[in-house]
């Protein structure tokens, strides 16, 4: 089974000022992330605006990241779609293009309201790339799914042969821990809430996927390092820096703000697509100042 380790960046998808793909910027982003100590790439997830891209754009983005990464770190492609036919097409494409792992959300417009139906959806997507490890992407805040994730895992382990992991993007640490217990080493359970990484480490997390690992990975590496040395005071201090940063970014259109921060750091990512708002020029200048005030 696949096992992810350390920080996995949920990558931004570079666009120009019109919101069209600017895939030449993928390589510099990947270099920057690997230099920062990121140990994996999660492509076309929430952060990468996967749901705001066409299927053709998702394939092109996937190929650009696979080429830029050139096999250096595990690369996961998120293929969730309201059309399961498109999800299957994307899964098959990702596997053929050389992705290490396929991952998908559930369909979220019409909901899978019971566990057997959701398992059927997951099995359908995972079977499109039967030899590629599959991680289910649990992000109830976005999908609106109310299915009990712990019970879903129990059923999924039985019924989906290539289900080997879960991306747990919620804030319930007790539930995250219960997922690990149910997985019992058979599934890799990865945490997705950056501002709670320290708590997740305490429950046994060994990998985390998130948006802010694109810009402040060194802070999180220090959290992990301090945790391993049992220096919880230092670990808490570093986590608090991440919390302050995320609280600040939440006063802006969040992902557009991080794209602007990447631009300030020399890796321009352009704008986000609607319905995510772009920053006004006024917001661009206050963000620059706010980041300086945080020492970033
Ligand atoms: C993805 O697919 O882009 C992710 O991994 C998203 C993870 C993010 N969670 C949500 C709800 O979007 O990184 C987190 C999040 O942006 C961070 O914790 C700040 O709140």
Per-residue model confidence (pLDDT) at position 225: 98
Identify the active-site residue in 42, 135, 137, 220.
137
Cα separation, 266 vs 44, in Å, equals 22
Identify the active-site residue in 42, 59, 136, 167.
167
Per-residue pLDDT tens for 138-184? 999 999 999 999 999 999 999 999 999 999 999 999 999 999 999 99
What ipTM does the predicted assembly reach? 0.97
Q: How far is the CA of 193 from the centre of ligand 1 (A)?
A: 6
209 ligand 1 Cβ < 6 A: yes
Q: How far is the CA of 20 from the centre of ligand 1 (A)?
A: 23
169 ligand 1 Cβ < 6 A: yes
Residue identifier of the C-alpha nearest atom 13 of ligand 1: 210
CA angle 50, 182, 136 (to 5 degrees): 10
pLDDT at 17 over 90: no
- Mean residue pLDDT of the chain comes to 97
Q: How far is the CA of 189 from the centre of ligand 1 (A)?
A: 15
Cα separation, 147 vs 111, in Å, equals 10
Per-residue pLDDT tens for 181-219? 999 999 999 999 999 999 999 999 999 999 999 999 999
Q: Whole-model pTM above 0.90? A: yes
């Amino acid at each position: 089974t696949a096992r992810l380790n350390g920080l996995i960046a949920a990558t931004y998808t570079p666009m120009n000022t019109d919101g069209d793909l600017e895939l030449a910027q993928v390589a510099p982003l990947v270099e920057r992330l690997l230099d920062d100590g990121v140990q994996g790439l999660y492509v076309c997830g929430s952060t990468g605006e996967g749901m705001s891209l066409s299927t053709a754009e998702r394939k092109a983005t996937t190929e650009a990241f696979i080429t830029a990464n050139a096999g250096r770190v595990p690369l996961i492609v998120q293929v969730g779609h309201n059309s399961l036919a498109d999800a299957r097409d994307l899964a098959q494409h990702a596997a053929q293009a050389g992705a290490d792992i396929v991952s998908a959300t559930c369909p979220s417009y019409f909901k899978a309201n019971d566990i057997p139906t959701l398992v059927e959806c997951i099995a359908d997507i995972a079977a499109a790339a039967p030899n590629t490890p599959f991680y289910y992407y649990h992000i109830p805040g976005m999908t609106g799914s109310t299915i009990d994730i712990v019970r879903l895992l129990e059923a999924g382990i039985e019924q989906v042969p290539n289900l080997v992991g879960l991306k747990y993007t919620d804030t319930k640490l007790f539930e995250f821990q219960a997922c690990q217990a149910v997985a019992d080493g058979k599934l890799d359970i990865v945490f997705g809430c950056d501002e709670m990484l320290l708590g997740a480490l305490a429950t046994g997390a060994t990998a985390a996927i998130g948006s802010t690992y694109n810009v402040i990975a060194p802070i999180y590496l220090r959290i992990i390092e301090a945790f391993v040395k049992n220096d919880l005071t230092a670990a808490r201090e570093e986590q608090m820096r991440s919390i302050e940063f995320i609280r600040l970014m939440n006063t802006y259109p969040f992902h557009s703000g991080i794209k602007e921060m990447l631009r300030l750091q020399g890796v321009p990512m352009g704008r986000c697509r609607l319905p995510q708002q772009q920053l006004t020029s006024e917001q661009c200048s206050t963000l620059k100042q706010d980041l300086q005030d945080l020492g970033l």
